Amino acid sequence: MNWNGLKVVLAIFESGSLTGAARQLGINHSTAFRQLNAFEQELGGKLFERSDLGYRPTPLGQETLAIAQNIGAHFDDLERTVVGKELLPRGQVKVTCPSNLAYRYIPRYLSKLRQQYPDIEVHLLANNHIINMNSRMADVAVRVTPQPPDHLVGRRVARIPWSVFCGSRMRVRPQEAQALLAQHPVIGATGELLELPAFSWVEEHCQEQIIARADNLVAASYLAEHLKALVVLPNDQIRPQVKALTIFDVAKTSDLWLLTHPDLRNSERIRLVMQALKKGFENEAF
pLDDT on residue 130: 64
Alpha helix positions (H), 132-216: 177-183, 197-205
Domain borders along the chain are: 3-84, 91-157+255-282, 159-253
C-beta of residue 39 within 8 angstroms of C-beta of residue 2: yes
Q: What angle, rounded to 10 degrees, do the helices at 59-84 and 3-15 form?
A: 120
At 45-59, the pLDDT tens digits run: 787 887 777 788 787
Q: What angle, rounded to 10 degrees, do the helices at 268-282 and 106-116 form?
A: 130
Assign domain 91-157+255-282 to its CATH architecture.
3-Layer(aba) Sandwich (3.40)
What is the reported pTM? 0.69
Question: How many helices (DSSP H) and strands (DSSP E) are in the chain?
Answer: 10, 11
Could you please state the CATH topology (level 3) that the domain comprising 3-84 is classified under. Answer: Arc Repressor Mutant, subunit A (1.10.10)
Q: Is the pLDDT of residue 77 over 60?
A: no
CB count in 10 Å sphere of residue 117: 17
Q: What angle, rounded to 10 degrees, do the helices at 18-25 and 29-43 form?
A: 110
C-beta of residue 165 within 8 angstroms of C-beta of residue 242: yes
Task: Phi first, then psi: give them for residue 164, nearest 5 degrees.
Answer: -85, 125
pLDDT on residue 239: 93
Q: Is the pLDDT of residue 166 over 80?
A: yes
Same fold, 3-84 and 91-157+255-282: no
Could you tell me which of 69, 48, 72, 73 has the C-alpha nearest to residue 58?
Answer: 48
Assign domain 159-253 to its CATH architecture.
3-Layer(aba) Sandwich (3.40)
CB count in 10 Å sphere of residue 118: 10
The C-alpha atoms of residue 132 and residue 139 are separated, in whole angstroms, by 10
Percent of the chain's residues with pLDDT above 70 = 88
Q: Is the pLDDT of residue 131 over 80?
A: no
The C-alpha atoms of residue 40 and residue 31 are separated, in whole angstroms, by 14
